[in-house]
């Protein structure tokens, strides 16, 4: 899909990942010997007509804009109609987690996730989040299928500004070096054997798996009532244990 925005005019806003030893890891709750295989392709976009910019052309609030896009995808799948939050709800969340007063340094993804769980974004709270290995494609696909997408972070290369599909150019130097454009938060709403599709800057952006492998620096599965209410946890996924362990690490 060709870009519909001017990449030179948009904002980024994902700071470097923060390590918290208490962060749960999804692999501990998945038994791959019992869990059905994730589908070969997944598309969570069919019932969403519009992906708002959420002021990410004015502010470095991508970490919170991505949360708003996830809520859209979840509610569309659950209720058949996407819930589009007001820009003010996204900006309010960003104001609470941004690193500096101006917001120019953006925010840390794990800080957004903690705020989202404790306080909520637009009155939508998540129940838990778990870290994923960015190199385990089968687990990433399983997480997207089980949880309705993935919340991720990218270290975008400057060369991505000129690509209609984000791809790795075979080198990590010069404009292809990770982070030469900056850090960016997006959510995964589609995957197939050729790659993944992100929501960013009010549009859908395709990326190859090679791009993912070289530029994705963090990924999280999120447990939320917006997606899980009314859904039966499949055999092989220990949802009760995840909820129990969440209580142990968060109090």
User: What integer pLDDT is reported at residue 250 of this predicted model?
Assistant: 44
- Using 50 as the pLDDT threshold, list the residues of the chain that sit under it: 1-5, 234-235, 248-251
User: What integer pLDDT is reported at residue 227 of this predicted model?
Assistant: 83
CA distance 240 to 244: 6
pTM reported for the whole predicted model: 0.89
User: What integer pLDDT is reported at residue 7 of this predicted model?
Assistant: 81
**Residue 5 contacts by C-beta under 8 Å, 6 or more apart in sequence?**
53, 57, 201, 202, 203
User: What integer pLDDT is reported at residue 4 of this predicted model?
Assistant: 42
List, in order of start, the domains of the chain with CATH numbers: 9-16+34-246 (3.90.70.10)
């Amino acid at each position: 899909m060709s870009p519909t925005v001017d990449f030179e005019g948009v904002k980024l806003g994902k700071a470097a990942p923060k390590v918290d030893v208490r962060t749960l890891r999804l692999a501990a709750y998945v038994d791959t010997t019992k869990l059905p295989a994730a589908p070969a392709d997944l598309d969570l976009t069919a019932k969403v007509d519009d992906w708002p910019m959420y002021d990410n052309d004015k502010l470095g609030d991508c970490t919170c804009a991505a949360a708003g896009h996830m809520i859209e995808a979840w509610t569309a799948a659950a209720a058949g109609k996407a819930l589009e939050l007001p820009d003010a709800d996204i900006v309010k969340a960003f104001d609470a987690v941004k690193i500096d007063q101006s917001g120019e340094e953006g925010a840390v993804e794990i800080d957004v996730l903690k705020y989202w769980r404790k306080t909520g974004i637009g009155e939508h709270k998540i129940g838990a989040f778990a870290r994923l290995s960015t190199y385990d494609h089968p687990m990433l696909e399983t997480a997207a299928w089980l949880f309705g997408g993935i919340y991720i972070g990218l270290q975008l290369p400057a060369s991505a500004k000129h690509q209609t599909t984000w791809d790795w150019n075979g080198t990590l130097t010069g404009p292809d070096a990770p982070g030469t454009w900056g850090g960016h938060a997006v959510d995964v709403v589609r995957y197939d054997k050729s790659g993944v599709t992100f929501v960013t800057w009010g549009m859908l952006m395709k990326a190859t798996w090679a791009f993912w492998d070289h530029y994705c620096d963090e990924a999280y599965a999120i447990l939320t009532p917006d997606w899980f209410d009314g859904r039966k946890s499949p055999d092989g996924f220990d949802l009760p244990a995840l909820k129990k362990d969440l209580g142990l690490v968060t109090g």
